[in-house]
Chains A and B, each alone.
Chain A
C-alpha cells in the first residue's frame, strides 16, 4: 500500500501542489488538506504516515516567517502532532514548512535549545540553485544519500539558521542533527552567495534527535526530474536529488 501523505495547506501555502506531486512520484499517496479540516476534526493526522508542510508564505509571513501557523499548530494541534510522532510518523518541512517546525520547537526538538530562521544577511529574498553536502546525520530521510554532494534550488528571504548560542549549536551538531550544509561547488566551504543566507555553520537543513522530522530551506519538490535542472541543456541533472530525498522518507514509511 502506498503510504498516505498529508500535505498541510493554510492561507498562503503555495508549494503544496508540486510537493504533492513529488510524493506521488516517490510512491506515496498524497492528499492536500487545509488546516481548517484538522481543526474541525474532519481529518486527523493519525490517518497518515507522513506529514509534509510545504513552502509558501503562510499568513503572509507577517510578524516573521511561519510564525502565525506555528502558533496555530502549537495551540491547536500539539497533542495530535505529538501522538503522530510517537506512533513513528514522519515529518518534512520545506522552506516555510521548515520555518514553521523551528518556530513550534519541533526542530531542533531538544528541550532548552531554541533555534530560529531569520532574515538573510543580504536582507532580501534570494532565488538560486545551491550546492549542498548531505551530512552523515541521524536523519532517516537521507540515509541512502549521506555524504553526497547535491544541488537544489532555494527561494527565501528568511533562511538564516541560528541557535541561541554556541553551546546550543554544538548540541545540535553533536547530536548529528545537521542534515544539509551549503557548500562551494566541489564541496569546499561556501561563501555568499553559495551560502545564500549566512546560516551558522552553513546549515541548510536539520532533523530532530530521532531523525524522523526533517526541515530544510532548499526545495526538493522542485527537482524531481532532469528538465527542472537549470543546466539541463548542458547535460546536467541526471540525478534528481529532490526526488531521492522524498523517496527516502517514503521508504521509511513503507517499513512502518
Chain B
C-alpha cells in the first residue's frame, strides 16, 4: 500500500483570494510585515495505487484544469522567501471532504484506502516564524481540532487500534457521599450529591454496583440539558413556593389560551401549529453555546445541524423549510488585551459562527431567513448561538409511538468519538481550561451526510415505513433510545452500531454525540423496504436492537449484558431540585461614550445607527442562501436596493398556495440589567410586533422561549429567571400567543483569573405566525413620496438601557426602562393587522432599538425616499425631543399611508382603540429631516445615515 501527498495551488500569477484573506488576518492578529500569502491544498491518499493513478487523481479530480497547478510528493510552489505554516486536523476529527474524495476517486476507477486533507500557507513575511505561528493560532487554526507545523506533515497515518472488551463496574455501593461527588466530577457526569445518592439507593436494592455505562446513561438522561431540572424543580421566592416554574408560567399560559390551532405543544422535539387543512408547521430553536465558544465553526454548524434533526424528528418527521439564527457576541472591535485568557477573540468567534451556520445551512438547502445579533462584552467568554428551524408536516404525521416488537434502526452517519459528554458538559461553566478538558465535546458536522439522510427519511415517512423517529442529539443513542423506549423498553446490541474507526468502547458507542444520525422504530414487516429506501441513495441504515414491551433498558456488547435499567427509574427517578431564589438586583453598567451631551440630534442619530446592535447585518445575511426552495417571499433585506432591515421573514410552505408563515424574533438583553421582568416582556412584545409588521394574523401567532442564563445556583440569578418567566405568562396570556416549545441553557458564565463573568439575562422569543393572504405581506421600505407617516402606539419617556443613552455612555434609571403594557399592545397589534388587511398600509416597520428616529431613518434609506419627521405631536404631550425620537417604548409601529387612505386608516385605528399620531411624511429627494414644530433638529443626507448604519459590520 502506497501513500501519496498531492499538493494543489492556484497558478502563480493568478490572484489567490484565500491567501490574500489569510495574509490580512495574520496581519490583524499581530504578525508584522506580512506581504503576501499563497495557499497550498494538501491531499494525502493511500491505497493499492500506482504513481500514474495518483497523477490521474491529481490532474482529473483534485486540481482545476484552468486555475490550478499540482504536484506529487514535492512542493508545488517555490517556497523561497516564505515561511510555511502547515495545518491539519488531529487524527479522528471528522474530515468532511474525505468521503467525497473517495467517491470521486472511485469514479476514476481508483479505490482509496485512506484520505485526509490539510492546508499549507506560504507566508511572505519578514516576521520571525514564532510570531507568525502565534498569529496563526489566533486566526488560522483552532488547536482543539487542528495542529500547526512548519514542517511537512508526513502523509502516513496509522489506523487506530482495536478495542478489547472488558466490563467496567463502578463500586458505588461502598462509596461515601464525598467519594460519589468525586466520581461524578471525574467521569464528567454533572450529577449532584442528591442524585448520586438516589442512584446508590437504586443499585442497593438491586444488590449490585452499576456499570460505567449505566451511570453514564443516567447522567445523560438527568442532565440539565435534557430534563431542565432547574425550571421544573421547586423554587422558594419571596415567601412563596413555586412547584415547577415552567409549568406554572410558560406552559400555563399555553394551557389557559387553549388555542384550537395548536396541534402539539411541549411534548415533542418541536411545537406544531395548524397551517392548512392538510399540514401543520413546526418550529424549534436550540442553543449551542459551549461548543461554539470552544470551536465556533464546528459548534455553530452542528448547532444548526442539530436543530434541523429536531425538526426531522418531530412527529414522524417534518420537512425543514427555513432556518433562523440569533447570536450574542463580545464586541468584535475588542483589543486582544481585553479578551480573557482561554477565550477566543470575539471577531474570531463571530466569523467562525457565521461561517459554520452558512456552510451547514446552505449545504442542507434550507434558507436561513431571520435572526438578530447582540453585542456585549459579557458574551466574550461565553457567546450565545441560537439556531432555529421551521418545518412543514402532514397532519397525519404529527403523532408517533414506538411499539413493542419494532426494530431499532440507526440511520445516517457513523459513530465516532466526537462529542462525548456534550449533554453533561453544557451544564458546566466555561473556564480557561475548557479548551483542553472538553475538546472531546466538540463535534464537527458533515452537512451532506445529513442532507442524504433527510432525503431518504422523508421518502420512508411518506411510505409509512416506521412508527417513531427521533434524532441523536445531546446524549447520542442513550438519549434517543431512552426517550423512544420510555413507555415500552428497549434492547440494543452495541457492537452492531457502525463505527467510523475501530477502538470505541461500548460506553463510547452509547453516548457518542457523532452528528447526522437518527433512530427509527420499524415494524418488522417494513424493515426490508426501509433498508432499501436508504440503500438506494447510499445512506447507511442498520438494525441495532428492538423495542421490547417490558419497560427495561438492556444493553449488550456481543454476548455480554453491559446495562440493565428500569425505564421508569431513568425517567422518573430524578430527585426534584429545591432552590432558593431572591429578588434580582439592578446590574449597573457603564459604557464608553461615543458622543457627549452637547452633540447635535443629527450626530446622536448617526451614533445610534452605528451602534453594533442597531447596525446593518448584511455582511452576515448575504452569506446565507436565504432563497433556496424558492419559498422566501418577504426576504431579510428589503427596499429599492434590497438592503433595508426587514422585521421578519415570510415563507410560503406550500408552493402555489396563497398562505404564508411569518417568522420573527425579539431579544433585548440590555434591559435585563435594570429589569429582568421587562427584558422578558419586551422580548415577547418585540417578536409578536415584528410578526404583525410583516403581515401575520395576531390571532394565529405562536411563540418559543429560549432562556440563556448564568448560574442559577445564585439566588439572585434564579430570582431573575422567576421574574422573566412570570413576564412571559403575563404578556402571552393577554396577547393570546401560546408558547409551543422552548429550551433553556443555564450555566452560561466564564471563569478566568479576573473572576466569574456571567452573561446578561438573555431571553430569545421566536414567533411563528400565519399570513392569511400573500398580498398582506408588508415590507418596511418607504414606497413613494407624499405619503403620511403615522406613529402607532403611545410613547413614554423610556430611554433607560436603550441605545441612545448607551452612545452617551449611560444606562439610566430603572424606572425608565421600556415597559410593556399588554392591554394597550394587544389593541395596537389588532389595529395594525386590520389596516394591513384592508390594504391601507404601504410600509410598516416596528420601533425597537433606537426608537422612532432609527425606524424612520431605516424606512427612508431602504426606500431611498426622503422623509420629514415632526415630533411635535409627542413633545406637545410633554416629552422632550430626544425622548420622542429615541425612547424604546414597546408596542409601536411607524406606518406609511397614502394621503387618500388616511381617513380610512385613522378610522380603523380608532375603532380598535389604538392611538396613531401623524408624525411626518415622505418627500422627494434624498434628505432625512427631524423637526419639532418649527425647530429643525437634524437634517442628514440619506447616503450619510445609510453609510452610518451599513459600515460598522461590513467586513
Contact = CB atoms under 8 A, between A and B. Distances in A.
A59 B446 CA distance: 10
Contacts of B778: 233
A179 to B, nearest CB: 20
A58 B763 CA distance: 38
A183 B580 CA distance: 65
Interface in B54-81: 60-62, 64-67
Contacts of A163: 66
A255 B362 CA distance: 37
Nearest to B955: A124
A72 interface: yes
Contacts of B536: 34, 36-37
B622 A63 contact: no
Secondary structure of the A contact surface, majority rule: mixed
Interface stretch (A83-91, A209-217, A218-226): A218-226
Contacts of A67: 61, 64, 104
Contacts of A234: 640, 779, 781, 783
Nearest to B15: A121
A18 B629 contact: yes
A21 B655 contact: yes
B633 to A, nearest CB: 5
B174 interface: no
A76 interface: yes
A222 B624 contact: no
Chain B interface size range: 35 or more
Given A71-B107, A127-B624, A116 B64 contact: yes
Interface stretch (A9-17, A132-140, A141-149, A246-254): A9-17
Contact of A230 (B61, B365, B635, B774): B635
B807 interface: no
Given A17-B629, A72-B107, A125-B625, A59 B448 contact: yes
A130 to B, nearest CB: 10
A60 B97 contact: yes
Given A60-B96, A63-B100, A71-B60, A125 B623 contact: yes
Interface string B67-111: 100000000000000000000000000001101110110011100
Given A12-B451, A21-B655, A123-B17, A64 B64 contact: yes
A199 B774 CA distance: 36
Contacts of A68: 61, 100-101, 103-104, 107
B736 interface: no
Given A125-B625, A233-B778, A59 B103 contact: yes
B96 A62 contact: yes
B538 interface: yes
B921 interface: no
B783 A116 contact: no
A59 to B, nearest CB: 4
B783 A11 contact: no
Given A155-B627, A222-B627, A232-B633, A62 B779 contact: no
A31 to B, nearest CB: 15
B401 to A, nearest CB: 30
Contacts, number: 170
Contact of B783 (A60, A128, A233): A233
A60 B623 contact: no
Nearest to B104: A68
A114 interface: yes
B626 A114 contact: no
B806 interface: no
B537 interface: yes
A104 to B, nearest CB: 11
Contact of B446 (A34, A60, A74): A60
Given A14-B451, A118-B64, A230-B635, A63 B537 contact: no
Nearest to A222: B630
Given A60-B363, A75-B107, A224-B630, A162 B358 contact: no
Contacts of B66: 114-116, 118, 162-164
A11 B537 contact: yes
Contacts of B451: 11-12, 14
Interface in B625-650: 625-633, 635, 637-640, 642
B627 A127 contact: yes
Given A11-B448, A57-B448, A119 B365 contact: no
Interface string A84-124: 00000000000000000000000000000011101111111
A114 B65 contact: yes
Nearest to A127: B625
B842 to A, nearest CB: 8
A92 to B, nearest CB: 16
Nearest to A37: B536
A12 B103 contact: no
Contacts of A221: 630
18 contacts: A11-B537, A11-B538, A12-B448, A12-B452, A14-B629, A15-B365, A15-B628, A57-B365, A59-B99, A62-B101, A68-B101, A74-B107, A127-B627, A227-B652, A227-B777, A231-B640, A232-B633, A233-B779
9 tightest CB-CB pairs across the interface, nearest first?
A14-B365, A62-B97, A62-B100, A18-B630, A116-B66, A59-B100, A68-B104, A123-B17, A155-B625
Interface of B: 15, 17-18, 20-21, 60-62, 64-67, 96-97, 99-101, 103-104, 107-109, 358, 362-365, 446-448, 451-452, 455, 536-538, 621-633, 635, 637-640, 642, 652, 655, 774, 777-779, 781, 783, 843
Given A14-B628, A18-B630, A234-B783, 11 more contacts: A11-B448, A12-B448, A18-B631, A37-B536, A63-B62, A68-B107, A127-B627, A128-B622, A222-B627, A233-B779, A234-B781
